Amino acid sequence: MIKGMIALNYIGIDIGSTASKVTVFDDERIRFNLLMPTGWNSVETSKKIKSSLIENGIDLEHSKIIATGYGRVAVPYADKTITEITCHAKGAYYLAKEDLTVIDIGGQDTKIITVQNGDVTNFTMNDKCAAGTGRFIELMANTLNLTIEDLSKLALEGENVKINSMCTVFAESEVISLIANGTKREDIARGVLNSIINRIKGMLSKHGLIGTIYLTGGLCELNPFVELLSKELGEEVKTSPMARFAGSIGGALLAKNI
Amino acid sequence: MGDYTKMWESLNIDLEKHDILCEALPVQFTDTYLTQNNRPEAMNYFNFVVAEIHGARILELENHKKNGGKVVGTFCVFVPDEIILATNAISVGLCSGSQFWIEDGEKVLPRNICPLVKAFTGAKVSQTCPYFQSCDMIVGETTCDAKKKAWEIMNDYMPVHVMELPQMKRDKNIEQWKDEIKLFIDKMEELTGNKVTVDNLKNSIELMNRKRRALKHLYDLRKHIPSPISGLDALLVSQVAFSDDPLRFIERTEELCKELEERVKDLKPNGKKRIMVTGTPMALPNWKLHKIVENLDAEIVLEETCTGTRYFENEVSTDGNTVDDLIDNLAIRYMDINCACFTPNEGRVEDILKYADEYNVDGVIYYNLSFCHTYSIEHERVSKVLKEKNIPLLKIETDYSEEDEGQIKTRVEAFLEMI
């Protein structure tokens, strides 16, 4: 950096349907990440993010900001918006540094993104339906009166029961009847995770696999889920606790190009 | 629009419901079309057609009927307009492009069929489409299961003539289609009392060929980089082609082309991504995909759809001295349309590759109306070949509702970022 110039911050703001993620880079490295629930109003969330950034000593005047995620249009102080597909790909590539097939399980949709030499070469999105998304696990955990963490731990101990319905609403009633039939909670938990994994399996076989499978999104910290996913896909699934921030990391990296 | 209440009343329109539709359309049109910058002057005519879509044109149909003519409604590019015109009847493409009719369609049809079939059925059931109400007969075809079975229901409401379209392209299938055209001629002669002759058929073939040429001219101009006309405007012209008076349509489209020819002289490349849309038809007022794409940094430069190239490609030969000769020519031209109802349908993939090259496209969007199985399955064939040729492809499966516009926008945006 040239002496006397104020350091620039490169910021990625990823407003997802469930969680919002923020990453602040300086020239070299990640300075810090922020995570907060999106809540019902992404405009409010974006305001909150702004004050958090200021509290953390970030001078927005000397920042380049990219907003991504479904709430990307609700960030008036962003310099540019880029879709979460491109941002996730950049972020995942930054974390893994190899050719990847990224599986991003978001709150609202699930994406499979092929990343070659750091660029998106293909993507598939499951949308308009909560089947196979983070929201599905959340709802099922609620029905079973469990946290997502506990559900995923229990699942490892259970035997798979088949949840046939692809629709979240019908799957919920299926789970309720399983509970009524006295099926063990760990078995149902296993069934819930398997139903998502099967959905991903289907998407992946259509999409095609290139490079290493890399999981991003809120489920990356659920080790039992990652374990099951690897087992069922018959391929090692890589991830990192930072992978939750793949979208915001990618956004921050892309902000350097503005 | 003028006051057409009396006319609508006489057509047994459900006025109250129809009012809701008439209020919604101008808002949608203004929002989609009139917000575009720098539109060609000649588009004013097409704006006028939309503004008067349930008025002036219906009045023309009614006047034609008063003079003893007949009006026939169609739904598909396989129905030969030449026969309808030869018997001095008017052919109109029927209402099938709005979410407005879905609810009524679902009263008599299952929910999990394509929105186009649900919409046209709903338009008839709810008596809110003056085109349907003006028709003496509608002509169906057997291009998909949903349509095939919907005709039976439609027949409860009005006379339906169904043409059996073969689903393969062997010589014997072309012979079958000739027979179907003959049966259709019998039907039209019976309905109108007018005979199909070599002269009137040749005239109508020539008229339809001119119409195809005008549309082809418009599409050829879109090959220019950048296109002198938005995809939205070109789509509107294609859509209007189905209901407007053919001669007037030809004149107005040629006028538009003349203006565009002047425009291309000064146009400089604008860096916008050039997109081909391929797949299922977009009936008026279905502008959903075009609106999303063109609000991003891209332009749609052609539609390989029934409301695009499939409607105008290939002319009908006027060679021959008998009606039978001309029927042969018609059958050959129509059986050359590459619709996903055929198995196999390799011609479509060849068309897509040819267009990708001719129109210099950066990417292709495969537009699939929900539950249109033939096109949805054919995506696999298309994607395989496009992958080999390194042409980026994005599939969008959707209906007429607005609820998934956000997701579609994200996907199109990511697609544009990728290519």
* Superfamily for domain range A9-87+247-255: ATPase, nucleotide binding domain (3.30.420.40)
pLDDT tens per residue across span A175-199 = 888 988 889 999 999 999 998 898 8
pLDDT band at A6 (very low <50, low <70, confident <90, very high): low
The reported pLDDT for the residue numbered A258 is 85
How many domains does the structure of chain B reveal? Answer: 1
Whether A218 has a pLDDT exceeding 90, the answer reads: no
**What pLDDT was estimated at residue A39?**
87
Could you write out the DSSP letters of every residue in B265-330? Answer: TT-----PEEEEEEES---TT--HHHHHHHTSSEEEEEEESTTTHHHHSSPPP---SSHHHHHHHH
Q: Are strands A212-216 and A119-126 parallel, antiparallel or unpaired?
A: unpaired
Task: Give the span between the Cα atoms of B74 and B94, in whole angstroms.
Answer: 6
Residue A40 confidence (pLDDT) above 90: no
Confidence at residue B1, expressed as pLDDT on a 0 to 100 scale:
65
Higher pLDDT, B24 or A164: B24
| Residue in B403, B406, B414 closest to A85 by CB | B414
Quote the tokens at residue B64: 């034609």
How would residue A163 be classed by pLDDT, with cut points 50, 70 and 90?
Answer: confident
Confidence of residue A1 (pLDDT cuts 50, 70, 90): very low
The confidence band for A3, taking pLDDT boundaries of 50, 70 and 90, is very low
- Separation of CA B406 from chain center: 26
> Which residues are CB-neighbours of B263 under 8 A, at least 6 positions away?
B40, B228
pLDDT given at position B394? 97
Query: How many whole angstroms separate alpha carbon B112 and alpha carbon B330?
Result: 35
Facing B418 at nearest CB: one of A109, A120, A127:
A120
- Any B CB within 8 A of A121 CB: yes
DSSP B196-223: --HHHHHHHHHHHHHHHHHHHHHHHHTT
Among chain B residues, CA nearest to A118: B418
Q: How far is B414 from chain A (nearest CA, A)?
A: 6
Task: Please check the confidence at residue B46 and state whether its pLDDT lies above 90.
Answer: yes
Of A83, A109, A119, Cβ closest to residue B413: A83
Other C-beta atoms closer than 10 Å to the C-beta of B312 total 21
Distance from CA of A113 to the nearest CA of B (A): 11
Separation between Cα atoms, residue B98 and residue A199, nearest integer Å: 32
Q: Report d(CA B15, CA B126) in Å as an integer.
A: 10
Residue B293, pLDDT above cutoff 80: yes
Cα distances (Å, whole numbers) of residue B162 to A19, B65, B97, B139, B260: 54, 23, 21, 6, 40
- Residue B103: what pLDDT? 95
Tell me the mean pLDDT in the region A126-148.
Answer: 83
Average pLDDT, chain A: 91
Q: Tokens in use for B60?
A: 């023309």
Chain B neighbors of A125, CB-CB under 8 A: 407, 410-411
| Least confidently predicted of A242-251, B1-10, B255-264 | B1-10
Ranking A154-163, B137-146, B188-197, B371-380 by mean pLDDT, the lowest is A154-163
Q: What distance, in Å, lies between the first and last C-alpha atoms of chain B?
A: 43
Band the pLDDT of A164: cuts 50, 70, 90: confident
Given A121, A123, A127, which is nearest B407 (Cβ)? A127
Q: Spell out the SS3 assignment of B101-112.
A: HHHHHHHHCCCC
**Domain residue spans in chain A?**
9-87+247-255
Assigned token pair, B330: 């018609």
pLDDT tens-digit map of A87-113: 999 999 999 999 999 999 988 889 999
8 Å CB contact between B394 and A54 = no
Parallel/antiparallel/unpaired status of strands A110-116 and A100-105:
antiparallel
Do residues B1 and B22 make contact, with C-beta atoms less than 8 angstroms apart?
yes
Q: In what order do the strands lie in the sheet with B363-369?
A: B298-304, B273-279, B363-369, B393-398
A160 — pLDDT class (breaks 50, 70, 90): confident
Is the pLDDT confidence value at A255 over 70? yes
Domain range enclosing B400: 5-418
- Residue A133 has a pLDDT of 83
The interface pTM score, or ipTM, of the predicted complex is 0.86
Q: Which SS3 state, helix, strand or coil, does residue B51 take?
A: helix
Distance from A10 to chain B by nearest Cα, in Å? 20
Average pLDDT over residues A24-30: 90
A166 touches chain B (CB under 8 A): no
Q: Please spell the DSSP secondary structure of B89-129, one letter per residue.
A: -EEEEPP---GGGHHHHHHHS-SSS-HHHHHHHHHHHTT--
Q: Is B136 helix (H, G, I), strand (E, B) or coil?
A: coil
- Model confidence pLDDT, tens digit, residues B190-233: 999 999 999 999 999 999 999 999 999 999 999 999 999 999 99
